[in-house]
Structure 1
Amino acid sequence: MTSDIPEAAFWIVAAAASIALVLLVRQQRVVVAAKRRQAVLEAELRARDDEVGHLAGVRLPAMLESSNRQGESAPRLLRAELSGTPFAQNVQKMTDLFIQSSESAQKRADQSAKAALKASMRALQGLSNEQQLAISEMQNAHDDPQVLHDLLEIDHMNSQFGRRAQAIAILCGSWPGRQRAAAPLVDVIRGATSRIRDYQRVQVQAQVDSAVISRAVEPVVLAVAELLDNAARHSQPNTTVQVSLQPAHNGVSMVIDDAGVGLHGREIQRAAALLSGRHQVDVGRLGDPPQFGFAVIGLLAARYGFGVSVDTQSPYGGVRAVVFLPSALLAPVDADEAAGRTSPPAVASQPPQVTHHTWSEDLADTAHRLPRRRRRAVASLSPTVTQPEPSPVAARSASDAATMLGAFSRGTRAGRGSTPDAEGMADE
Structure 2
Amino acid sequence: MFQKVLIANRGEIALRILRACKELGIQTVAVHSTADADAMHVRLADESVCIGPPQSRDSYLNIHQIVAACEITGADAIHPGYGFLSENAKFSDILAAHNITFIGPSGDHIRVMGDKIEAKRTAKRLGIPVVPGSEGAISDETEARRVAAEIGYPVIIKASAGGGGRGMKVAHSEDDLLVALATAKSEASAAFGDDAVYIEKYLEKPRHIEVQIVGDGAGRAIHLGERDCSLQRRHQKVWEEATSPALNASERAKIGEICSKAVADLGYSGAGTIEFLYENGEFYFIEMNTRLQVEHPITEAITGIDLVHEQIRVASGGGLSVKQEDIRFQGHAIECRINAEDPRTFVPSPGTITHFHTPGGLGIRVDSGVYSGYKIPPYYDSLIGKLIVHGRNRVECMMRLRRALDEFVVDGINTTLPLFRDLVGNTDIANGDYDIHWLEKHLASSAG
Q: TM-score, normalised by structure 1?
A: 0.24
Between Structure 1 and Structure 2, the one with more strand by share is 2
Larger Rg computed on CA atoms: 1
| Structure with bigger RCO (C-alpha 8 Å, 6+ apart) | 1
Return the TM-score normalized by structure 2.
0.24
